[in-house]
């Protein structure tokens, strides 16, 4: 038995063995509690029930799995063999399977309840899973059903045997009587978002402890049920439990972006621990500028992380090498990690878990998220992205990570700055905004850069032209070559001015307009 199972009786929790579910339940189930798990066919109720049993016996408990379904125990066990939690050696020893159908047919709910009490005592079970309780609706009245639930509640408390009922989601949404008796109610659902199906877990009630509210993603894998708590709910609970500390002198320093003249425009670089958005259409140089930022600060003391949705590590290395940015050496030395996230990953919270785990594992101090739109494709509801990013940005700042994110703008040319609807609210939360854009003039494209916002620092607001060269991004020393405004009205330069390269050193680094 684990230590938690050997404590004196009281409101004592023990882990379910499913890490994400334990986070949602703030620790796990209570000894002697009775819980109901509801869901439609195929939601994974039976898998969850068996997984809880095998994790329970692995920690020293004894489990009893009683089924009212037509499926035989041998067929059920055959389907469990593909899961890694299944251990056949425990069968008949610390975990027992049997059917309650005969008792139910013989004496109804009263006979079934008596069987449960007898076998629980005989086997010294500390966890009981009752599968297929939906069939009881057809053989009992509502009054008998409530009396049966109350009998299980009393039996669980007396024997200290935690009881879990698995049943299909009832047609009636009125579960007021069941919720009064049951100490916990967990609902599994399979909603559809457009053409994509999802799996979501929701705790509707959990007596004796707080829990993470709302819907949480889960998946059925070889390991069984894997629960991914909703990122914003999980991070909010963690931040309440561990409030931030006062900023240090190191946190108040600046982090270079890389291109010297851009650093000059930002009076030395980005404020440490700040959030910066790179806004620009496709091809304006967002990935390149973000990579400049990572390499400018990547050292053993300040390791960096690239997290992107489109560039695999090998492809990113080849792409940046064309511009004189060698990330191969930085990766080999352990100063830079490149983490690719498949844009086909349907779970928003899975990618957030990977990102935060990599940051904590590598003590990351510089982060470039290449393409916030990659998370847009992983959300089931559009209104969630703002909440998700708000919680994530707050956590990154609490971890002392200076973060830069690229945001794809929908139009190559636009007289106004139009943010995608899914990230329009995040611009207000960001500390710094850098705008990269195209200007078309005499059948040629020019790239312009401007700083729209810096919350904790003075900066140069002038519009600068920048070019992508064999050595990366080169920013003009003054505004003279960028006589254009954000509405797209441009004044042609002379041929001599157009062909003149940017000087190696800016004579007017401030670039202030007359």
Res 238: pLDDT: 77
- Measure the CA angle with vertex 162, ends 157 and 168; round to 5°: 115
Contact status, residue 115 vs residue 98, Cβ threshold 8 Å? no
Residue from 320, 384, 371, 316 nearest 343 by CA: 371
Report the candidate in 198, 135, 105 with the shortest Cα–Cα distance to residue 115: 105
DSSP 248: P
| Structure confidence at residue 510 (pLDDT) | 37
Phi, psi of 428 (to 5 degrees): -70, -30
Instruction: Tell me the C-alpha distance between 66 and 485, whole Å.
Output: 73
Determine contact, residues 109/147, Cβ cutoff 8 Å: yes
Q: In angstroms, what CA-CA distances link 247 with 235, 250, 253, 273, 397?
A: 20, 8, 10, 10, 11
Q: For residue 508, what pLDDT is reported? A: 40
CB 491: neighbour CB atoms within 10 A? 8
Tokens encoding 293: 């930022």
CA torsion, points 221, 223, 225, 226, in degrees to nearest 10? -90
**Spatial separation of the C-alpha atoms in residues 384 and 258, rounded to whole Å:** 34
Q: Provide the H-helix boundaries in 363-460.
A: 373-376, 384-398, 426-429
User: Hey, what domains does the chain have and what are their CATH numbers?
Assistant: 3-229 (3.40.50.300), 258-499 (3.40.50.300)
Task: Name residue, tokens 């100063």.
Answer: 335
Do 186 and 34 form a contact (C-beta atoms < 8 A)? Answer: no
What is the radius of gyration, based on Cα positions, of the chain? 30
Give the CA count within 13 Å in the CB-facing half-sphere of 332: 6
Q: Residues 6 or more apart from 315 whose CB is under 8 A from it? A: none
Give percent helix, percent strand, percent coil of the chain, each to the nearest 5.
Answer: 35, 25, 40
* pLDDT for residue 3: 39
On whether the CB atoms of residues 220 and 44 are closer than 8 A, the answer is yes
Return the pLDDT at 184: 93
Complete edge-to-edge strand list for the sheet that includes strand 472-475? 336-340, 304-308, 366-370, 402-408, 275-280, 432-441, 444-454, 464-469, 472-475
Mean pLDDT by 10 residues, the chain (514 residues): 43 92 95 94 95 96 88 84 93 90 85 92 95 75 85 90 91 66 92 83 92 93 95 83 52 84 94 94 92 88 90 90 90 92 77 94 95 74 78 93 91 60 70 89 81 90 90 86 49 53 46 34
Neighbouring-strand partners of residue 14: 29
275 burial type by CB count under 10 A (0-12 exposed, 13-18 middle, 19+ buried): buried
How many degrees, rounded to 5, is the angle at CA 311 between CA 310 and CA 315? 150
**Alpha helices in 124-225, H assignment, sequence order:** 142-159, 176-181
Cβ atoms 20, 228 nearer than 8 A? yes
Q: Work out the number of other CB atoms within 10 angstroms of the CB of residue 420.
A: 16
β-bridge pairing 184-189 and 192-193: unpaired
pLDDT value at position 192? 83
d(Cα 473, Cα 287) in Å, to the nearest integer? 11
Does pTM surpass 0.85? no
Q: Is the distance from CB of 352 to CB of 388 less than 8 angstroms? A: yes
């Amino acid at each position: 038995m684990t230590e938690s199972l050997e404590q004196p009786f009281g409101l004592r929790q023990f882990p379910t063995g499913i890490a994400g579910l334990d986070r949602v339940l703030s620790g796990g189930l209570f000894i002697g509690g009775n819980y109901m798990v509801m869901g439609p066919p195929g939601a994974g109720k039976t898998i969850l029930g068996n997984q809880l049993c095998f994790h329970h016996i692995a920690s020293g408990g004894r489990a009893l799995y009683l089924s009212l379904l037509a499926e035989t125990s041998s067929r059920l066990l055959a389907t469990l063999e593909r899961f890694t939690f299944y251990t056949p050696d425990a069968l008949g020893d610390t975990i027992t399977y049997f059917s309650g159908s005969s008792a139910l047919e013989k004496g109804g709910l009263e006979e079934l309840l008596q069987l449960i009490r007898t076998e629980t005592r005989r086997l010294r079970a500390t966890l009981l899973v009752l599968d297929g309780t939906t069939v009881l609706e057809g053989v009992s009245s509502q009054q008998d059903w409530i009396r049966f639930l109350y009998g299980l509640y009393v039996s669980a408390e007396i024997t200290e045997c935690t009881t879990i009922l698995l049943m299909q989601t009832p047609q009636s949404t009125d579960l007021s009587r069941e919720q009064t008796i049951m100490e916990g109610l967990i609902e599994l659902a399979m909603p559809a978002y457009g053409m994509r199906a999802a799996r979501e877990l929701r705790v509707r009630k959990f007596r004796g402890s707080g829990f993470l509210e709302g819907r949480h993603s889960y998946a059925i894998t070889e390991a069984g049920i894997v629960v991914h708590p909703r990122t914003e709910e999980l991070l909010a609970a963690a931040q309440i439990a561990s409030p931030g500390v006062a900023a240090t002198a190191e946190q108040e320093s600046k982090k270079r972006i890389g291109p010297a003249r851009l650093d000059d425009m930002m009076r030395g670089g980005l404020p440490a621990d700040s959030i910066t958005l790179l806004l620009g259409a496709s091809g304006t140089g967002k990935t390149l500028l973000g990579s400049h930022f990572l390499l400018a600060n990547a050292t053993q003391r300040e390791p960096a992380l690239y997290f992107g949705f489109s560039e695999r590590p090998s492809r990113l290395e080849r792409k940046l090498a064309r511009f004189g940015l060698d990330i191969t050496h930085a990766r080999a030395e352990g100063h830079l990690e490149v983490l690719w996230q498949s844009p086909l990953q349907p779970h928003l919270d899975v990618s957030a878990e990977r990102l935060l785990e990599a940051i904590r594992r590598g003590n990351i101090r510089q982060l470039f998220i290449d393409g916030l739109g990659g998370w847009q494709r992983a959300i089931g509801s559009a209104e969630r992205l703002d909440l998700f990013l708000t919680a994530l940005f707050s956590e990154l700042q609490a971890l002392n990570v200076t973060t830069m994110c690229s945001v794809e703008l929908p139009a190559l040319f636009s007289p106004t700055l139009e943010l995608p609807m899914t990230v329009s609210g995040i611009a207000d939360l960001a500390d710094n905004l850098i705008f990269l854009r195209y200007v078309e003039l005499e059948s040629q494209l020019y790239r312009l850069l401007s700083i729209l916002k810096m919350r904790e620092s003075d900066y140069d607001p002038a519009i600068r032209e920048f070019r992508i060269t064999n050595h990366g991004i080169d920013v003009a020393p003054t505004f003279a070559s960028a006589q254009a405004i954000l509405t797209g009205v441009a004044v042609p330069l002379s041929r001599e001015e157009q062909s003149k390269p940017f000087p190696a050193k800016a004579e007017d680094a401030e670039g202030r307009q007359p």
